[in-house]
Each structure stands twice: as C-alpha cells, then as structure tokens.
C-alpha cells in the first residue's frame, strides 16, 4: 500500500479520563485512564495504518513526554522520524462521562526554534523521495509562524507529491496561498479563517487564494467539497454515538486513503464520513472500528 508522510506540528501525550459525571468546581473520581501518543497527525497515521497504508510520522519531540511518544509509536509498529527539540512536548486531556460529551483541555505546546523547524523540513523532504502523499494535520505550537505551513507545501511541490492539510487559522490561509492540493477544515474553522458570512462564500474565498480541492466537515450535516469540476456532498452516518474526539482525524485518513486510490470525489467523501463515524465508536482518539467502517460503507 501507499507510503504516506504525516507531519504532526504539535504532537501530544493524549490522556483520556473516564468519569461518571462532570460537575465544575467539584473533585471527581476517575474510573478509567487511557494514555496514547496523540496530536491530529498521529491520529491520522494510526487510522491510515489500520486501513493498510504505510504512514511515517514526522514529529518535533522534546523532553520525557516526547521520548514516551517515540517509544509508544515504536511499540505500535508505526514509523517515526523525530526532530529533537529543547521544549517539552505537551499533554492534552479529554474527560468523558456517561453522557458521551468529552471536555478537552489542549496545552498550547512548546516553543520550537527556527533551526528545529529547518531540520524537520529537511527530514520531510528526504522522506518524500519515496512517498505518494504528504499529510499535515494539527495546530502549530505557540509562537510558530504560519510560514512553516507554506514551507511544507513547497517541500511537497518540489517532490511532486500531493499535499493534504487539516489545519486552521492563519495556517489554513497560508496553505491555500501556497497552492495546497487538498484542504480539509471543518465549517467553523473555514468561516473563522475567511471571515465569510456563509459556508459557500467561505469555500469560494479559500479557493480564490489558490487551494485546489476543499473538503469541509460539518459534523452531523456531513461533508461538502468543491474543486474545479463541481460541488459534492455526502451525509453523515446516522445513529452513531460515542466519543467524537479524533473523528475528524479519522475522516482525514479516510479521505487521504481514497484519494491515494484515485477514487472519485463522492466516493472519497463517503469513505471519510464512514471512517470518521467508525472512530466515534472507539473510546480513544486514533482508533477506528474497521468492521463498522465497512458496514457504514454498505449503507
């Protein structure tokens, strides 16, 4: 299967606490604890691996938490190219209760020095020599300029490899201006980045900056996409309940896998919606229920 380079600009130790109920201002007894190597790109890579693809993670990692992530990825059999940084890799906490609505606390991440970013870009360029796609997913650490995203798109273009980005804010507009092949924001991120008043105007605005295919996830309203050839949409998978943390990352993986197989856009959207829903059924981000995924595709 295809080799995919997946850059996670701001990886994290993802901790998921399970509690009976959440009451602000009160102490809570934690019933379950899960720790996973996280960050949106790592979640994408895990889902791609579950589909049989060959992802390699590119990660800026520092401190004990960074070393833990590298060791856990190795234990999972996931390839990683680590750029050492002096800062401490962040920890993010999701708290889930019996009502199924997680509360998520995301640390901003460490400061990554310009020289460290240059090393990561060089590592990415080297790995793209025998890859079929570059995926960039997640936030930038605090203090990082969006030119890092522009540089990553340029590295993909130099390698003649398509690039798919799931980013937000200034990173989203920077990716569009750099001529990204595929952008996959959610509706809120796209409206916020463009300042548009409605989704159609936001899609038109981001494409006018230079983006190719724009795929927008709308939660329970499904996905829409626009490219040079038309407008496409698929509904969300109905009747799925669970933990939505990581569902968007699984949808990104489903989209990437379908595009690697040269599937039509509507089929790519179907696979994205189905894999995103399959992730909701798993208790922690980064995992997907493959039996459910195939079942959803038959609906």
* Active site residue ranges: 249
On whether the CB atoms of residues 20 and 31 are closer than 8 A, the answer is yes
> Are the C-beta atoms of 135 and 6 separated by less than 8 Å?
yes
CA–CA separation, 261 and 1 (whole Å): 10
Q: Closest by alpha carbon to 41, among 88, 67, 77, 78? A: 78
Give me the residues paired with residue 136 across strands: 7, 165
3-class DSSP assignment, residue 49: helix
Which residue bears the tokens 């920890």? 91
- Give the span between the Cα atoms of 192 and 112, in whole angstroms: 25
- Tokens encoding 207: 């494409």
- Structural tokens at position 120: 């990561």
Q: Return d(Cα 161, Cα 4) in angstroms, integer.
A: 10
CA-nearest of 137, 129, 118 to 161 is 129
Q: Is 55 helix (H, G, I), strand (E, B) or coil?
A: strand
Residue 98 DSSP code: T
Contact partners, residue 67, CB within 8 Å, separation at least 6:
61
């Amino acid at each position: 299967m295809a080799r995919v380079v997946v850059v996670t600009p701001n990886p994290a130790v993802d901790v998921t606490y399970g509690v009976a109920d959440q009451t602000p201002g009160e102490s809570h007894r934690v019933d379950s604890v899960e720790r996973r190597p996280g960050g949106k790109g790592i979640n994408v890579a895990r889902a791609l691996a579950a589909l049989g693809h060959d992802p390699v993670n590119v990660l800026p990692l520092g401190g004990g938490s960074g070393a833990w992530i590298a060791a856990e990825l190795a234990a999972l059999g996931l390839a990683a190219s680590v750029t050492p940084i002096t800062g401490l890799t962040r920890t993010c906490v999701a708290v889930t209760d019996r009502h199924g609505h997680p509360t998520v606390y995301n640390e901003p991440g460490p400061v990554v020095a310009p020289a460290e970013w240059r090393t990561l870009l060089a590592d990415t360029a080297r790995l793209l020599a025998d890859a079929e796609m570059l995926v960039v997913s997640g936030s930038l650490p605090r203090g990082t300029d969006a030119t890092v995203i522009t540089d990553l798109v340029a590295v993909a273009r130099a390698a003649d490899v398509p690039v798919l980005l799931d980013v937000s804010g200034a990173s989203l507009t920077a990716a569009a201006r750099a001529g990204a092949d595929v952008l996959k924001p959610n509706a809120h991120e796209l409206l916020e980045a463009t300042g548009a008043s409605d989704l159609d105007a936001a899609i038109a605005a981001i494409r006018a900056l230079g983006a190719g295919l724009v795929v927008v996830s709308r939660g329970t309203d499904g996905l829409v996409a626009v490219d040079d050839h038309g407008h496409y949409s698929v509904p969300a998978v109905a009747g799925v309940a669970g933990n939505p943390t990581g569902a968007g990352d699984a949808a990104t993986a489903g989209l990437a896998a379908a595009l690697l197989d040269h599937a039509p856009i509507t089929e790519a959207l179907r696979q994205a919606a189905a894999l995103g829903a399959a992730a909701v059924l798993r208790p922690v981000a980064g995992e997907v229920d493959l039996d459910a995924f195939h079942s959803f595709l038959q609906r």
